[in-house]
Each structure stands twice: as C-alpha cells, then as structure tokens.
Amino acid sequence: MGGGEGRIHRGPRAAGDAKPGPKKPPSERLRALWPDIWALVKPRRGLLGLGLGLIVINRVSGLVLPASTRYLIDDVIGKHHASMLLPLTLAVVAATAIQGVTSFSLTQLLSIEGQKLIAELRRKVQQHIGRLPVSYYDANKTGQLVSRIMADVEGIRNLVGTGLVEFIGGLLTAVMALFLLLRISAVMTMVSLAVVLLFGLALQKAFKTVRPIFRERGKIGAEVIGRLTESLGGVRVIKGYHAEDREAEVFAAGTQRLLDNVMKSLTAMSVMALSATVLMGIVGALVMYLGARQIEAGTLTLGQFVTFTAFLAFLIAPIIGIVNIGTQISEALAGLERTREVMRERPEDEDPERVNDIGPIVGDVKFEDVEFAYNPDRVVLHGITFEAKPGTVTAFVGPSGSGKSTTIGLIAAFQKPLRGRILVDDQDLSRIRLAAYRMQLGVVLQETFLFDGTIRENILFSRPAASEEQFLDACRIARVDEFAESLELGYETIVGERGVKLSGGQRQRLSIARAILADPRILILDEATSSLDSESEAMIQEGLSHLMKGRTTFVIAHRLSTIRRADQILVIEDGRISERGTHAELFAQRGRYFEMYTRQHALDENLFLAPGEGDVVPDAESPASPAQPG
C-alpha cells in the first residue's frame, strides 16, 4: 500500500534479527529437529534402506582385496601354494566389479533423490512464505526470503542423499574392520582404538564449534543477498544520487563478513584434517613397533601384519571421512534449523479465528470503532467508524502518514484491528476465510507492480481463465489497446522487470486493466492515477468509472476528478476521521477539506466560490484538474 503511516512492525520478526536466547546444547537442538528430520526421511526410508544395503555390499567387497594379501604372502608366496593364485585373483576382480557397480548405483540413486528433495523443499518453503501475512514481508528483506528458499535447503540433501548414507557406511566399515583387526591382533587393535577414541572426542568438540559457524554463515549470506537485491532493484536511485561507491562499500563489508565466517570454518576444518593426519602417523608408528615385535616373537606372520595395516586403513579412513561428511551434515542441520523457523510461522489463512465461508459479496462494508497499531505502544488508527454502502465510492483524504493506507490495508485484510470490528455484509472480516474474500477483491495500488512477462500475462494475472473477448474488453476500457497495439509484438511485448520498459502511465493502465478483468465486488484504488499526467488521466477516467460502477469502491485520492465523484469523503488526520461528507458538503463547511482543496487551487482567480456559485470548481471531466494530496 502507498505511504506507510509511521509504521513500527510487530508480529513476525525479521529473519535472523531476533535476540538470541540462551544457547541450547547440540543434543537438545538435535532432539528439537528430529521430527523435521524424520519427516524428510520417512517417505524415503525404503530408498535409504536400499542405499544402506548397497553400501554394505560395497564395503564388504572393499575388504576382499586387503583380506587376500594375507593368503597371497603367507600361502601363495610363503608356502608356494600356486594353485591359490588364480582363485584369489578372480575373487579380487569380482569384488572390485561389485564395488564399482554398487558405487555407481549409490551415486545415481541417492544423489538424484537428494536433488529431488531440494526441489520439493524449495516448493514447500516458497508456498509457505507466499501464504504468510503482509506483516511478515514488512519485517523481512526480499533477499533474505530468497536466501531462505534457495540457499538454506541446499545442504539438506545430505540428510537423504549420499551424505547420511556415507556417514552410516563409514561407521559400518569401521565396525567390520575392527572385528577383523581384533581377530588378527587384539593388542595392536586396542592400542590403535584408544588413539582413535581420543580423536573421536576431539571431533565431537570440533563439530560443536563448526555448526554455529555454518548457521551464522546462512544468516550473513541472507543479509548480503538481501542488500544486493535491494541495490539491483533501486539502481536508478543509486545512480541518480551517484551512490555507486557507497553501495560497493556496503556490499564489500557484507562479503568481508562472509569471508571471515568462511575463514573460521576453514580453520576449524583444517585443524580437524591436521588432527586426522597426526592420528594416522601416531597409529602407524605404534603398529609398526608392535607388529615388528610380534613378528620377532613368532605370534604374528608377515601376511597377517600386512593385512592388519590394510584393515587399519579401513578403520581410520572412514573416521577421517566422517570429518568431511559430518561437516556437511552440520551444515544441513543448520539450514534445517533456519528453514524450520520459517515453516513455524503461521500462514494467514490458517488463522483459527477465520472459520466462516462467505459467498458472493454484496459489498456492504462497515467500520465499528476500529483501532489499529503496528506496535502496541503506538496506535495509528483511533475509533474509525463509517459505512460504505454497496455500489458506492468512499474516498480517503488527508496528509501523508494520517492513516489512509492503513485503513485500506484493513479493508484488504492485510492486517486485523486491535479493537473494534470490520463487517462485510454483516460478517466480521476477522473471521472470514481469506481465500473466498480476496477472490472478490480488486486492488490498484499507487506503486504499480508488473511481472517480467508480456502485457497479456500481466493483465491475465488476475483472471487466467478469462476469454480473449474479456481480455480485449478490459484492455479497451483501460485504454491499454491505444499503446499496446502499436507495438511490434502487441500484447506479447515483454514489459521488463517491474514494467521498466513501459512509462508510468502505461504501467498504471495495465494495473487498471488487470483489476477490470478480475471483476471484483470490492475495489481498492490507492492513488491509482498518481502515475498519470492530466491528459492520460482524462483518457482513462471513463475506464475508472466503468470499473467502479456497481462496486463498493475505496479510493485514496490523488486527483480531484475522483474525489468529486465520491459518495462520501472521509478526511483522516492523526488516525481519526475529522470530517465526512460529499465534496459539496465539505466545501461548504470551509473546514480542513476546504483548506486542502483551496490550497491546490491557490492560482485559481475564483478560489473561494463554492460549488454552484459561478460554477468555477474545475469540472470532474477536465483533464487539467490539479492534484489532490494523498
């Protein structure tokens, strides 16, 4: 809506702006996330089961080669049993083939499913955010919401894709290797295991450090994307004030914060990698020493020693792999936490109070002692009471910030009153289901929004199933045809982002055509002709008259031609109705409306003549009607 009335937002908080509460331990946060994780895993548990089965086969096949070295050294070479060479070779080849096929199948199966999960989550998050109340959008930057939809879900594929299965597979391989190592040498195994357990404790502490870093990265990334989106959208303002360097500095500061965060995570991961390398060195040295002593003592053969070192790699390598995979899962959980915050916001159409269906609207709208506040400490509307009869035009006039747009927002059910009631056909609007109500609502805003599509697509947005005849009629009434049909591609012309390829007047005509095509019962015009010059406005006055005919219309006035036609004019000041009546009645009262009206006509030589006294008030159809303050 045009012109925010000194609004201080309440309700949904800005993404990442809430004050951090007491930090919960990771185990408690994981328990809180478990229902969400299970919701993702449950529909895919069969697929994950198959993946785990394949990874078991894969890892068992991988153990064949190191296991065969014992028989190769001790039997084939040591005892000259040449007949065992071919079977051993064939077993290794078969195991390697099985390992390759299962690796390929795992990647295809789980990676594809992981990407499907991302697409599904993006659809769900976008759909959910699209159903949140307007106050949520007021409290959050567009770029931050884009980041929630696109970036936060990216890492979640690791919960269902290869990440989680590789994590479990690594643990499974470590367990199998441990069992085989114990059979070869319990002493060397227990010594190696003690070092590995110490490393495991270090890993646990490291993950506690890394996970908050990833969560902070998501927050910073959303803020940087948000500012970048704003800068690109406001490029004309930036260039108009020669502020390119300032914006570059702001973006550079954001990217530096992001870089600092990445450096922290890289440092933590590097420390873990260093620890893993040191671990391998320590374990390797211990195994060399103990193995050599046992071989000298005759309790261990050379083949067993070689096999032990190979299996030891199968014990340590998965644990080192868990460092990388665990980092990915930590990132996924951080993204899931941020996604969960959004999904917990209640959509406006799930308000438990909105239980009443409404049929075709007649259009009788009443405000009964309505108060409203964006912040409980600052009430912006006080005791607003009026009635708009079906088929009439109600105009709101007043200085900027007086409460006009807030009143319009309440009629559109963008917000709910703090006190009092708004009745539509004698039904409390706060209890009416929004879908049924807004289907019968048409809105033409001061700030015209167009999608980066064709003229046809933008007009049909309000009623996609409209016939070609209905579409052309709407274009004719709003005078869109006068410029569209002269374009090379006609109605298939691309308007550009936010309609940048059209003039302000052309964009507004498209917006009016869109409202005409919607055929609403209640119509809201928020300074709908503010982007038009006097000549263009005069051209579409007939269209506006056609649009308002038989509908309950609410107008925030910008042009006198709209005010003069209104059945009632409400003068709003400081959130209160100070005057009400028709144009002639208010002019005759010589009050606040009279002051605003005459101020706009200060150059008129017949300034103080009332309507009928010489008929000097500019005619409603005059293209030269000067502007009325909004």
Q: What percent of the chain has pLDDT over 90?
A: 11
469-507 residues labelled b (16+ CB within 10 A) or e (exposed): eebebbbebbbbbebbeeeeeebebebeeebeebeebbb
Mean pLDDT for 415-436 is 90
Mean pLDDT for 390-412 is 89
Type and span of the H or E element at 383 = strand 378-388
Residue 581 has pLDDT above 50, yes or no: yes
Q: Facing residues of 441 across strands?
A: 522
Is residue 154 within 8 A of residue 335, CB to CB? The reply is: yes
d(CA 497, CA 483): 19
Mean pLDDT for 354-381 is 88
Residue 562 has pLDDT above 50, yes or no: yes
| Contacts for 109 with CB less than 8 Å, ≥ 6 apart | 47, 50, 51, 54
Q: How many residues does the chain have?
A: 630
pLDDT in the model for residue 327 = 62
Nearest to 465 by CA among 545, 543, 519: 519
Selected residue with higher pLDDT from 479 and 528: 479
C-alpha torsion sign, points 608, 611, 613, 619: positive
Residue 422 has pLDDT above 90, yes or no: yes
- For 435-458, write each residue's pLDDT tens digit: 888 888 888 876 677 877 888 988
pLDDT in the model for residue 369 = 94
Nearest to 558 by CA among 539, 531, 587, 524: 531
d(CA 446, CA 511): 10
Type and span of the H or E element at 28 = helix 26-41
Selected residue with higher pLDDT from 603 and 552: 552
pLDDT in the model for residue 297 = 86
Residue 6 burial (C-beta neighbours within 10 Å; 0-12, 13-18, 19+) = middle
- For 300-345, write each residue's pLDDT tens digit: 888 888 888 888 877 777 666 665 666 666 667 777 777 788 888 8
Hey, what are 449's tokens? 């929004």
d(CA 338, CA 347): 17
Nearest to 547 by CA among 593, 456, 480: 480
Residue 402 has pLDDT above 90, yes or no: no
Strands 552-556 and 378-388: unpaired
pLDDT in the model for residue 443 = 82
Residue located via tokens 């374009």 = 487
d(CA 466, CA 344): 36
Quick one: how many helices (H) and strands (E) in the chain?
22, 10
pLDDT in the model for residue 19 = 42
Mean pLDDT for 44-69 is 80
Nearest to 541 by CA among 565, 515, 507: 565
pLDDT in the model for residue 64 = 83
d(CA 78, CA 303): 9
Mean pLDDT for 17-46 is 62
pLDDT in the model for residue 138 = 76
Record the pTM: 0.62
| Contacts for 297 with CB less than 8 Å, ≥ 6 apart | none
Q: Where are the alpha helices (DSSP H) in 497-572?
A: 504-518, 534-548, 560-565
Residue 216 has pLDDT above 90, yes or no: no
d(CA 531, CA 49): 61
pLDDT in the model for residue 505 = 78
Nearest to 59 by CA among 16, 102, 94: 102
Selected residue with higher pLDDT from 432 and 139: 432
d(CA 73, CA 303): 5
Helix-helix angle 302-343:112-130, to 10 degrees = 20
Q: Facing residues of 419 across strands?
A: 371
- For 230-263, write each residue's pLDDT tens digit: 677 666 667 665 677 878 888 888 888 888 888 8
Residue 625 has pLDDT above 50, yes or no: no
- For 104-130, write each residue's pLDDT tens digit: 888 777 777 777 788 888 888 888 888
- What does pLDDT average to over the chain? 77
Q: What percent of the chain has pLDDT over 70?
A: 79
Which domains occur in the chain, in start order?
26-344 (1.20.1560.10), 353-440+521-532+553-616 (3.40.50.300), 450-519 (3.40.50.300)
pLDDT in the model for residue 371 = 93
Residue 53 has pLDDT above 80, yes or no: yes
**83-97, 432-446, 518-532, 595-609: which has the highest mean pLDDT?**
83-97
Task: Read off the pLDDT band of 407 (50, 70, 90).
Answer: very high
pLDDT in the model for residue 354 = 83
